[in-house]
Structure 1
Amino acid sequence: MHAWPASEVPALPGSGRDLRIHDTATGGRVTLVPGPVARIYVCGITPYDATHMGHAATYNAFDLVQRVWLDTKRQVHYVQNVTDIDDPLLERAVRDGEDWTALAERETTLFREDMTALRMLPPQHYVGAVESIPKIVPLVERLLSAGAAYELEGDIYFSVAADPSFGAVSGLDAEAMRLLSAERGGDPDRPGKKNPLDPMLWMSARPGEPSWDGASLGPGRPGWHIECVAIALDHLGMGFDVQGGGSDLVFPHHEMGASHAQALTGEHPFAKTYVHAGMVALDGEKMSKSRGNLVFISKLRRDGVDPAAIRLALLAHHYRADWEWTDAVLTEAVERLARWRAAVSRPDGPSADALVEEVREALADDLDAPRALAAIDRWAAAQTADGGTDEGAPGLVSRTADALLGVAL
């Protein structure tokens, strides 16, 4: 599966700062000091509907992580998956009377177009669940052989007891885990499971549903968590720098993925740092496909909204914050974009050397994008009020907004 084209990232004078970021697993801030190649895995979409503002907010957060790393002169090895086989996708295809593969391909294509328009840097490896099945099956077989998985009426489940550090990512108690498992795709009430929290690794073939050769497992399809584990281990290995996604993935997805990988390899940790973006709401509720309260990126683009304004609307909120999309949020972003573009269109202006460092410091401080926007706001206001004599300043501000914030002026 192919990703989307990369936009050029301008080089800035000097060098960026190491990123200090909130780690979900420890509950505190850590300084990320990767090697020459920083490794990041971000969980991708289940393509049964178009990209909405919640998706965009998540991928914007991890785009900023990449840009901070690139500014430190590191390379970035970024991997993202596509869950192109799962219950919600099949259910939507049945509802609409559409072939599930056609639905998945159409929505994945639209996602790529949205990411391109928003200038999100693409992953080096963009990998679908279906194409990963040949790598998933041997992992499930290994877990069975090691006694870390078991069979129940043809389905294969992972035993959370196989990982002594299970629970370390989310820090939740058993009851909270059980409630979230039921809400987020698990089946804690299924009779016969060793532990209600045990997640499915391999679902045996169901009548009328697609299935694949599972070798000794029999025909079926993979569970959600083992998909990402197989892709991450294949392309990044254990101990990669950042596992990312929305805060709704902390449990069960990232908790279970870590346990799968640690039980498979006997190594710890799966990821060094777990980073999660907040949720975007509309009309007082989290924006989600199941609720249908969505603001689609593609719809905004069709309505003539500049993608740079959409990006500024996202950047106006701290990545870990839960926030609500409103018309006022978009209006403010459109107005900010107009002010910035007017300011950098002049032939000279106030010196911007300190501004570059201010934006760098803001982003290095747990991706504080609102603080970075405020710094450019101040420069634009000074440009409007007093002007300046530095002929290189407008171009430097423009390159800074592009390189560090992904906003093309």
Structure 2
Amino acid sequence: MTEIKLHNTKTRRKEVFEPIDPQNVRMYLCGPTVYDRAHLGNARNVLMFDVLFRLFRHVYGAEHVTYVRNFTDVDDKINAKAAETGRPIRVITDETIGWYHDDMDALGALRPTHEPRATEYIQEMVEMIDTLTAKGHAYEAEGHVLFAVSTDPEYGSLSGRSVDDMIAGARVEVAPYKRDPMDFVLWKPSDLDTPGWDSPWGRGRPGWHIECSAMSKELLGETFDIHGGGNDLQFPHHENEIAQSRCAHPESDFAKVWLHNDMLQVEGKKMSKSLGNFFTVRDLLDQGVPGEVIRFVFLSTHYSKPMDWTEKKREGAEKTLRKWYAQVDGQSVGEVPDTVLSAVSNDLNTAGALAELHKLSSSNEAAALAASMKMLGLFIGAAPDWAAVSDVDLSALEAALSDARNVAMETKDFSKVDALKATLLDAGVEVQMSKEGVTLKPSPKFDPSKLEVLL
């Protein structure tokens, strides 16, 4: 059997993965809070876990892998959006889940085995909170139920920080009803305008952290193989998950392995609305960037390192995929070479795996290339429509635009150049003009019929 190694955040080292039960390998990924479109950074751990899901299915068999990714559909951000728009919460969350599926499907991500909604597991959350209270790990205060961090001597083991350090530098909600600043909310009261459920502590709703603990227990058991998410969730969310699950079920290990991906940058800068470089997955798709290209760019950087989305990387990914699709289109799918499998099995080294695919392409091993692309989620049996424009000959139009530009440089009349560029851009042709000359390249939105007026 293929040896798989994963870097475990919990132990801070790369370890050989040994499933608790090879007949049912179990993995959990913290999913989105469904009130708006997924931004590009949200897709990173989805693609990380999708590669892991595909690897496990390849090694253990598709029927022996259980993958859970939740939807948080009870949250103050959702409540605020409902109040702002006047739309029912369920309508907002259903719509947003639909968007999320559409966007992640476009990136080639397989649907998880289970996609639980938090609102479907309220009773299980209440029961876990009740257990924690009965065992002295939680207390009621002013309609809230809070987890008492001081009752868990292992608190901080995931992040490797002391409680004092976490108080000094982390997102800790200050509230007068807390016994300790680090204590976190398990249950909070709801007014008549806020979603709520009956509980032993009155009408209310769950805190954020208890959701994943309750849902993972119900769907994967008290102890399961892998839990993951972005490294921004390591504290407080994942630290709190471990604490409450460990204290509710002290005989369990909760998750044996923890995987965390690093964050996304755009052209070397942190993605933010204030910098004007914030965009959603749908923004890119609507701009004509194929999902396969987005996926390729993500896989080009190891999940544990910061990933920089750049236009240069997008262009390179598109060029490579056009070439690969031309090679594998219509070819039979062979076996995944050991070199590719070894790279993916080595802590999901997708960048190394893509390097092996480049070698397969260079040696024109089409069947092996097709199998490897399929395993990485880049090929499902037919070349996508956008890849079929790679053979378009635009040399005559390049020459015409170059000649027009030369004339314009002398006459200072650029009207013809501007008209040619406008027609080309409208037809989905990317126009690059430099001292070296003119380069035209069909984009995913290329429509050759719009160029007939120039031919």
| Letter matched to residue 223 of structure 1 | G
- In structure 2, the partner of 1:242 is 226
SS in structure 1 of the partner of residue 292 of structure 2: helix
CA distances 1:210-256 after superposition (whole Å, capped 9, x unpaired): 21212x12101001111100000101112211001111111111110
C-alpha deviation, 1:179, in angstroms: 4.7
- In structure 2, the partner of 1:8 is none
307, 313, 330: which one aligns with 2:297: 313
For residues 93-132 of structure 1, the aligned pairs below 5 Å read: 93-132=82-121
| Letter matched to residue 363 of structure 1 | V
17, 20, 30: which one aligns with 2:15: 30
SS in structure 2 of the partner of residue 21 of structure 1: strand
Q: Distance in 1 between matches of 2:270 and 2:72?
A: 21
Q: Distance in 2 between matches of 1:292 and 1:136?
A: 39
Q: Distance in 2 between matches of 1:120 and 1:347?
A: 23
Larger Rg: 2
- In structure 2, the partner of 1:9 is none
- In structure 2, the partner of 1:21 is 6
C-alpha deviation, 1:293, in angstroms: 4.8
Q: Distance in 2 between matches of 1:342 and 1:62?
A: 28
Aligned pair in 2 of structure 1 residues 163, 40: CA closer, same or farther (>3 Å)?
same
SS in structure 2 of the partner of residue 126 of structure 1: coil
Q: Distance in 2 between matches of 1:346 and 1:140?
A: 56
| Letter matched to residue 22 of structure 1 | H
- In structure 2, the partner of 1:399 is 371
Q: Distance in 1 between matches of 2:340 and 2:152?
A: 41
Q: Distance in 2 between matches of 1:130 and 1:400?
A: 39
**How many residues matched?**
377
Unaligned runs of 5+ in 1: 1-14, 384-392
| Letter matched to residue 253 of structure 1 | H
Q: Distance in 1 between matches of 2:220 and 2:275?
A: 34
378, 386, 396: which one aligns with 2:359: 378
SS in structure 2 of the partner of residue 82 of structure 1: coil
217, 220, 228: which one aligns with 1:233: 217
- In structure 2, the partner of 1:196 is 181
Q: What TM-score does the superposition give when structure 1 sets the normalisation length? A: 0.86
- Whether 2:44 is the aligned partner of 1:44: answer no
Aligned pair in 2 of structure 1 residues 222, 283: CA closer, same or farther (>3 Å)?
farther
SS in structure 2 of the partner of residue 217 of structure 1: coil
Which stretch of the first structure deviates more once superposed, 282-291 or 163-172?
282-291
- In structure 1, the partner of 2:410 is none
For residues 344-355 of structure 1, the aligned pairs below 5 Å read: 344-345=328-329
- Whether 2:61 is the aligned partner of 1:61: answer no
C-alpha deviation, 1:207, in angstroms: 5.3
| Letter matched to residue 53 of structure 1 | L
Check the 8 A contact 1:316/1:370 in 2, yes or no.
yes
| Letter matched to residue 206 of structure 1 | D
Check the 8 A contact 2:357/2:372 in 1, yes or no.
no
Relative contact order (C-alpha < 8 Å, sep 6+): which is higher?
Answer: 1
Q: Distance in 1 between matches of 2:155 and 2:44?
A: 28
The percentage of counterpart residues that share the same residue type is 33
SS in structure 2 of the partner of residue 201 of structure 1: strand
Check the 8 A contact 2:5/2:16 in 1, yes or no.
yes
Check the 8 A contact 1:181/1:197 in 2, yes or no.
no
C-alpha deviation, 1:39, in angstroms: 0.5
Q: Distance in 2 between matches of 1:90 and 1:192?
A: 23
Q: What TM-score does the superposition give when structure 2 sets the normalisation length? A: 0.78
Unaligned runs of 5+ in 2: 384-455
For residues 3-402 of structure 1, the aligned pairs below 5 Å read: 17-34=2-19, 35-74=22-61, 75-179=64-168, 181-182=170-171, 186-187=172-173, 189-206=174-191, 208-214=193-199, 216-282=200-266, 285-287=269-271, 293-345=277-329, 356-383=337-364, 393-402=365-374
Q: Distance in 2 between matches of 1:195 and 1:118?
A: 43
C-alpha deviation, 1:52, in angstroms: 2.0
- In structure 2, the partner of 1:389 is none
Q: Distance in 1 between matches of 2:133 and 2:256?
A: 26
